Structure 1
Amino acid sequence: MANSKINPKKLLKTLLQILVTSAALYLVLRKTDVAKLGSIIRNANPWYLLLSLLFFNISKVINAVRLNRFFKAIGIELSAMYSLKLYYLGMFYNLFLPGGVGGDGYKIYVLQKNHGLKMINVFHAVFWDRVSGIIALIFLSLILLQSSTFATHLPQFVPYAWVVLITIYPLTLLLNKLFYKQFVEVFTITSIESLLIQIAQVISVFFILKALSQNAHMIDYLAIFLISTIATIIPITIGGAGAREITFFYLLGFIQVETHAGVALSLIFFAVSALSSLAGILTKISHETSVPETQKS
């Protein structure tokens, strides 16, 4: 990964991410009472925040297990600890080195360069891991939205939401069978793990809300969190900062709920994510992997 030359495309991407992140945060904070926001964050219960940190990292451990299961499906044998280290390093690259390799790209790079694997095989595993997570996000978002204030504001969309809920996993399985047959055998277990990952993150956010003494509109906040997570998947901001805040600000405003707690929640969640990502600095990637000859490039 050592490269002293500056890549103009990566530099431009980094500058664009910084610009979009700054613009989104400015747009939100310009319409927010910053003093009140700061007071809400300062008075947050630290014990609930520790529980939030715990469940966030539980979600990441499950995520590493799921990704390792996809690797095994294409014949890449990684130890559980190696996979976890690789995942946290990916988190670190994704958050602290924007515009460059990125978390997913870093995983592909390491396995391809250090272990002589076909890049396309690793790409398929990482890509389907991401798709599996997005499907779980959509599924849980729609479940929460059915019981949220949004359902009363937009009742005309409720039937469509139920159609998506009923069909999303059968259609995903069909897509799996048509284009990613190598992952069909692990479809059920990885789908369950994907749901557990998002549930653990929802619990993490629940504890942030408890830390902020925010007990009203709980379902609304949790639903918006899942929607904001979908929004942060598009790598146009640094670690999702700005995208999550602007999603909370405008969706809470749409249902006429006070926005300060939502913005505080999103900022704290980013801090939890950043703190957890720092563990990537402590990891060391070695060559502890076994790959069948058919998987080597």
Structure 2
Amino acid sequence: MVKHSKKLLVQSLKLLVSAGIIFWLIQSGKLNFAALKNLLAPGPACLALILVFLNLYFASERWRILIRSQGLPAYSWPVYKLSLIGAFFNFAMPGGVGGDVIKAYYFTRENPGSKVVAVTSVLMDRVLGLFAMLLMALLVMIYDIKHILNIPVLLTLFYIIAGLSFGFLIALSLIFSQKIYANGMLTKIINKLPLSHKFSKLYESMHLYGRDGKRFAQVIFLSFFGQLCSIMFLYLAGTMAGFSAVPLKTYFLVAPLGFMATAIPISPAGIGVGQAAFYFLFNLYTGTESELGPTVITAFQVGIFLVSLLGAFFYLRRKDKIEPAKIEEAG
């Protein structure tokens, strides 16, 4: 009972954070829904939805390749349906991991004995997706380094992104290293930690994902393609909303940083947090205050939600559906 009440309180706080930020943006004129009316024209709307479908497809394929690297069968359409279900529950269940838990659970139901792979593949999918975002942000910053050097806050962000990218690279190298795994160096360190048994199993499972360099490269490239689709969506939304003067390269810098902020699980599907992050980043990079950031990320979130309604349809058609709250508790 106490655990349930605590969980309900945390979820309520996340909803309040999201609602509070959205309310502030609307009241202060920083979020203008009317600016998106041009995106509702048949041509732009169809193109926008195609970009959302592709974004989710590349994310789904990234997860599928990670599953297949562990020797389990995973086919594009069934995995894509699970990914759509997960995308829907990112909105329906307040919390950053709600959808991941749901899709991992149902993959396990469809593939008995795959619980460890389902859990670790979702975790590795998150880790490598974040790593790809860091790499893209770092590469764009290096490309536009002259602009970065002229703005102290952007230069600080550059150092942070470079440090995080380097840290990720070192950590992944240690986890995937066959030599380190063979001599048991990391295992000895892990055995000295609390809950060492669980951390040891996690390390062994994650190590397996680095055995196939070709598949690892595919995962990173799929992440880049997925990000490209989301960036083109944002650019389309911004152009249709009247911000055609903002160059495409600005979106390539802002989008990875903004999406990293939405990945922080303090609001449902990053709603509210994303609006604030994109508002700050676009204004910082362009040097002018506008409603561009909140406008384009709101359009993207609406697009993701509309497409994820297919996930709700697939979920309701399942004969083995279980109450989501029970799945998350079991997870």
Q: Same fold (TM over 0.5)?
A: yes
- Which residue does the alignment assign to 2:141? 145
- Aligned: 1:129 with 2:125: yes
Does the aligned pair in 1 maintain the 2:37–2:241 contact within 8 Å?
no
Trace 1:78-97 onto structure 2 (pairs within 5 A).
Answer: 78-97=74-93
CA shift for structure 1 position 160: 3.8
Trace 1:263-278 onto structure 2 (pairs within 5 A).
Answer: 263-278=294-309
- Which residue does the alignment assign to 1:207? 236
Between the aligned partners of 1:263 and 1:23, the Cα distance in structure 2 is: 14
- Which residue does the alignment assign to 2:188? none
**96-105 or 241-250: bigger deviation:** 96-105
**Which residue among 201, 205, 208 is the counterpart of 1:182?**
208
The one-letter amino acid paired with 2:255 is F
SS of 2:150 mapped into structure 1: helix
- Which residue does the alignment assign to 1:229? 259
CA shift for structure 1 position 162: 8.8
- Which residue does the alignment assign to 1:13? 10
Give the % identical residues. 21
The alpha-carbon distance between structure 1 residues 89 and 45, as it changes in their structure 2 partners (threshold 3 A), is: closer
The alpha-carbon distance between structure 1 residues 223 and 49, as it changes in their structure 2 partners (threshold 3 A), is: farther
Between the aligned partners of 2:233 and 2:9, the Cα distance in structure 1 is: 34
Between the aligned partners of 1:236 and 1:158, the Cα distance in structure 2 is: 21
CA shift for structure 1 position 168: 6.8
The one-letter amino acid paired with 1:24 is I
- Which residue does the alignment assign to 1:68? 64
The one-letter amino acid paired with 2:46 is L
Superposed CA offset, 1:201-228 (max 9, x none)? 1122122122223222333344222211
The answer for unaligned runs of 5 or more in structure 2 is: 178-202, 321-331
SS of 1:77 mapped into structure 2: coil
CA shift for structure 1 position 101: 6.8
Trace 1:156-175 onto structure 2 (pairs within 5 A).
Answer: 156-157=155-156, 160=159, 167=166, 170-171=169-170, 173-175=172-174
- Which residue does the alignment assign to 2:325? none
TM-score by length of 2: 0.74
Does the aligned pair in 1 maintain the 2:95–2:267 contact within 8 Å?
no
- Which residue does the alignment assign to 1:257? 288
CA shift for structure 1 position 14: 2.3
Between the aligned partners of 2:49 and 2:119, the Cα distance in structure 1 is: 30
Superposed CA offset, 1:6-60 (max 9, x none)? 94344223212211101221232232266xx243222446322321221121121
How many residues align structurally?
280
- Which residue does the alignment assign to 1:24? 21
TM-score by length of 1: 0.82
Does the aligned pair in 2 maintain the 1:61–1:84 contact within 8 Å?
yes
Between the aligned partners of 1:15 and 1:165, the Cα distance in structure 2 is: 31
Between the aligned partners of 2:267 and 2:96, the Cα distance in structure 1 is: 13
Between the aligned partners of 1:209 and 1:192, the Cα distance in structure 2 is: 25
